Amino acid sequence: MSVSAFIIFSIAFSTVSGFESFVYKNVPPEMAKAAKEIGDNERLSYLQTLQSKKHTEDEKMELYSQHLSGCSSVASDISMKLAETIGEMAPKPEEFSESGKARSILSAIGIDSVSSALMTMPMSEMTETIHQACLKNELQFQCAYGFIQDKDKIAAHILTMMENDGNIKMMFESECRRPEFTPATYACIGENTDQWVKECGVSIAAYNNTRTDVNIKMGTTYATVMSMIEQVMEKATTESELMKLMGESTDLMTATLHQLSKLESFKCRSYYQMERCLLKTVNKVCGFDSVHALETILRVGYLRRERGDDLHMQFLESEIPPTKACSKTFNS
């Protein structure tokens, strides 16, 4: 078992006040129980619907998804509060305010808007926001457990989430497990952005420019090729023509992905140069915990995040691995 898997399973079977927490042991037991009961009720409703009449396999899958998705509404008040604090509904700081300038620098490094908002808020607010985010996730996992009734499946899902997203990995491994220490780790990153620019400004600017340029080119090229393929496929009038055009379209997409992979290499090389300077400086100013947080947030899930889900899936389905320039730093 990998270290990450061990961590997840140790969390999943952490018994607190009569219930087993998945990611956040500080959840009030009565809230965890209520969330699980919602999942229990969804499961009962699902089974009753199945027994009421015959369903096709597709209909069963649709019903399963509908009832399980009921857990996404658990802690909806917390979800709304988070959206208003660090999400899409959160107010944006003035561009030239201290917070605005800090977020701009964090964005140039490659940190998403949610993490940059968290890193630049006052410590007391950050502590509360972390608590709310961990609480929401724990309650939703408790609900899912009530519906699925399989701890191992929940733990495996958590592990997959962590492998694909650096923010989630930090949340479940650090924020929710050590909520008393994480705010200082993040605050140091957010409070010292001027120092990051002073020491690494050239490489940060170079990476930001390269990243922007490459992402635009990759996105535009992919959209153009997809449009071309759709137009060509519409011209097929017979099954043989359709099969022929599908083969040609696959060849075109494969060639395009190889081209985009080479283009992506420029961004990965530029990132590596920036990261080498940045992490060295962060370690000197903030220490190892901040280095680990920054490295995790930026590296884990980088290719998926930068490419977008659709394009990333094209790479995976076509079995085109990252180039050496990217694979030495990123694996997802």
- Convert the chain into a string of H (helix), E (strand) and C (coil): CCHHHHHHHHHHCEEECCEEECCCCCCCHHHHHHHHHHHHHHHHHHHHHHHHCCCCHHHHHHHHHHHHHHHHHCCHHHHHHHHHHCCCCCCCCCCCCHHHHHHHHHHHHCCCHHHHHHHCCCHHHHHHHHHHHHHHHHHHHHHHHHHHCCHHHHHHHHHHHHHHCHHHHHHHHHHCCCCCCHHHHHHHHHHCHHHHHHHHHHHHHHHHHHHHHHHHHHHHHHHHHHHHHHHHHCCCCCHHHHHHHHHHHHHHHHHHHHHHHHHHHHHHHHHHHHHHHHHHHHHHHCCHHHHHHHHHHHHCCHHHHHHCHHHHHHHHHCCCCCCHHHHCCCCC
CB of 88 within 8 A of CB of 139? Answer: no
Which residue type sits at 313?
M
- Whole-structure pTM value: 0.88
164: nearest Cα among 301, 320, 2, 326: 301
Residue 19: predicted pLDDT? 72
**Percent of the chain, pLDDT > 90?**
85
Residue 235: predicted pLDDT? 84
pLDDT above 70: residue 249: yes
- Mean pLDDT of all residues in the chain? 92
What is the distance between the alpha carbons of residues 316 and 261, in angstroms, rounded to a whole number? 12
CB of 200 within 8 A of CB of 278? Answer: yes
The pLDDT of 256-285, averaged and rounded, is 97
Residue 18: predicted pLDDT? 57
Residue 7: predicted pLDDT? 40
Distance of alpha carbon 64 from the chain centroid: 24
Residue 127: predicted pLDDT? 95
Convert the pLDDT of each residue in 193-228 to its tens digit.
Answer: 999 999 999 999 999 999 999 999 999 999 999 999
What is the distance between the alpha carbons of residues 66 and 46, in angstroms, rounded to a whole number? 9
What is the distance between the alpha carbons of residues 266 and 286, in angstroms, rounded to a whole number? 29
Cα atoms found within 13 Å of the Cα of residue 307, Cβ hemisphere only: 24
**Percent of the chain, pLDDT > 70?**
95
What is the distance between the alpha carbons of residues 88 and 47, in angstroms, rounded to a whole number? 37
pLDDT above 90: residue 250: yes
What is the distance between the alpha carbons of residues 281 and 226, in angstroms, rounded to a whole number? 42
Which residue type sits at 144?
A
Residue 15: predicted pLDDT? 53
CB of 93 within 8 A of CB of 169? Answer: no
